[in-house]
């Protein structure tokens, strides 16, 4: 037998830039990023979330004027292509196919750029199209939601849904750059502003107790979406995610562990079961509450820590239950999560705020009881005069662990 073993290392570097009014003609950020491509003049195809266009009248004209102001550096090869906002662009292949067709029609090459502007779902779909055209066209992401700016839009994953499964098709393909424009947040609906905070709570719980303390202390300000608190939350959340991606040693998830997916095994199923009526961040908040409760009843998370976690989530405005929880097949959901990862089941749990532990087995009856407790608590809080809500402390004491 003869064997040739091939080994090589590829280094990836990309900036995550924070700015305001990225398409103001005198803002050089986007033009400077394009200059980093190594060519004196670059072609770019813009794909933009249709909901962002609706919420920002005049934006398409601003993009056109920006191209004219910087035509010595760049050319937009066509008017911005509008991608349907939300999960629909990931459920159906239409947008990906049309972006591929635009790449072919306008002679976009691997040294050209696709600029994706939008929320997490649109960035996922456009990123998948960019990564699969010519085996990879340079992608610049301009996330427009809290969730996209502090998590979904800053990593290396792209994907679309298939076979009824979230992100069944996808790629690991780092962007050329990410530009976070705080001005986009001013036009967001309240529900989208809130949803993005769940990922900040998640990453604080598994990586940084000091950051959790900040979120807890500023919970009233964050619930009002105070700009200073929001911007600090977004920046630190993005920083922690990037530190994990760059320093965790498994950026392309070759192993079985995905610590950044704390609370996500149930969140993905809630999105599917509700036909995306539950937003990703809302589902993550429920998943955080459930896995924190489960951690408490395993005896690894303290009662006061559980109280603070649930208090923070509820003060921010999250509902910690949904009717879809009653439809959840726990065993099947865990099996699908393991299958998506490959290898052994690995579920992040909490052994304290800022400290996670990987669980490779889940006590199914206990998890189902924790789901029931969350739903009982939600029913109590919603039903005035029906009876008292189940408190965080009661949740923490409601089971006896054998």
DSSP string, 197-225: HHHHHHHHHHH-HHHHHHHHHTHHHHHTT
Q: What are phi and psi of 256, to 5 degrees?
A: -95, -15
Helix (H) or strand (E) holding 43: strand 42-49
For residue 17, the tally of other CB atoms under 10 A from its CB is 16
- What tokens were used for 238? 């993005």
Q: Are 101 and 35 in contact (CB under 8 A)?
A: no
Q: Are 377 and 395 in contact (CB under 8 A)?
A: yes
**pLDDT recorded at residue 339:** 81
- Give yes or no for a contact between 263 and 290, defined as CB atoms under 8 angstroms apart: yes
Of 282, 258, 303, which is closest to residue 194 (Cα–Cα)? Answer: 282
Q: Which domains does the chain have, with CATH numbers?
A: 16-187 (3.40.50.1970), 194-397 (1.20.1090.10)
The pTM assigned to this predicted structure is 0.88
Kindly give, in sequence order, each residue whose CB lies less than 8 Å from that of residue 241, ignoring residues fewer than 6 positions away: 150, 151, 154, 155, 199, 203, 260
Q: What is the pLDDT of residue 382?
A: 67
Q: End-to-end alpha-carbon separation of the chain, Å?
A: 55
If you compute the radius of gyration of the chain from its CA atoms, what whole number of angstroms results? 22
Encode the chain (402 residues) as per-residue pLDDT tens digits.
999 999 988 888 999 999 999 999 999 999 999 999 999 999 999 999 999 999 999 999 999 999 999 999 999 999 999 999 988 999 988 999 999 999 999 999 999 999 999 999 999 999 999 999 999 999 999 999 999 999 999 999 999 999 988 889 999 999 999 999 999 999 999 999 999 999 999 999 999 999 999 999 999 999 999 999 999 999 999 999 998 887 765 677 665 456 578 999 999 899 989 988 999 999 999 999 999 999 999 999 999 999 999 999 999 999 999 999 999 999 999 998 888 667 788 899 999 999 999 999 999 999 999 999 999 988 887 664 433 344 555 565 544 332
């Amino acid at each position: 037998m003869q064997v040739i073993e091939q080994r090589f290392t590829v280094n990836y570097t990309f900036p995550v830039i924070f700015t305001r009014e990225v398409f103001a003609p005198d803002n050089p950020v986007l033009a400077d990023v394009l200059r980093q491509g190594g060519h004196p003049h670059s072609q770019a195809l813009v794909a933009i979330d249709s909901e962002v266009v609706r919420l920002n009248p005049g934006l398409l004209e601003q993009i056109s004027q920006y191209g004219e102001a910087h035509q010595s550096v760049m050319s937009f090869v066509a008017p911005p292509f509008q991608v349907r906002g939300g999960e629909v662009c990931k459920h159906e292949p239409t947008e990906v196919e049309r972006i591929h067709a635009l790449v072919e029609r306008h002679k976009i090459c691997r040294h050209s750029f696709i600029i994706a502007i939008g929320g997490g779902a649109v960035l996922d779909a456009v990123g998948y199209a960019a990564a699969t055209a010519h085996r990879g066209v340079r992608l610049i992401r301009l996330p427009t939601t809290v969730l996209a700016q502090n998590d979904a839009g800053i990593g290396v994953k792209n994907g679309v849904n298939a076979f009824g499964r979230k992100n069944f098709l996808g790629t690991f393909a780092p962007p050329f750059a990410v530009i976070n424009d705080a001005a986009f947040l001013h036009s967001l609906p309240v529900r989208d502003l809130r949803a993005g905070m769940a990922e900040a709570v998640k990453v604080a719980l598994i990586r940084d107790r000091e950051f959790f303390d900040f979120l807890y202390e500023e919970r009233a300000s964050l619930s009002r979406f105070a700009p200073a608190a929001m911007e600090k939350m977004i920046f630190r959340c993005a920083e922690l995610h990037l530190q994990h991606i760059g320093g965790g040693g498994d950026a392309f998830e070759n192993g079985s562990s995905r610590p950044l997916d704390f609370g996500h095994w149930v969140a993905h199923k809630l999105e599917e079961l509700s036909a995306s009526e539950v937003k990703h961040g809302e589902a993550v908040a429920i998943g955080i509450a459930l896995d924190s409760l489960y951690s408490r009843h395993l005896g690894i998370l303290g009662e006061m820590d559980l109280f603070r976690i649930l208090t923070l989530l509820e003060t921010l405005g999250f509902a910690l239950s949904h009717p879809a929880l009653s439809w959840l097949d726990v065993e099947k959901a865990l099996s699908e999560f393991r299958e998506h990862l490959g290898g052994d089941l690995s579920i992040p749990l909490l052994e304290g705020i800022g400290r996670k532990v990987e669980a490779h087995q889940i006590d199914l009856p206990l998890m189902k009881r924790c789901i029931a407790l969350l739903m009982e608590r939600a029913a109590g809080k919603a039903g005035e005069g029906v009876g008292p809500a189940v408190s965080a402390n009661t949740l923490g004491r409601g089971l006896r662990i054998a």
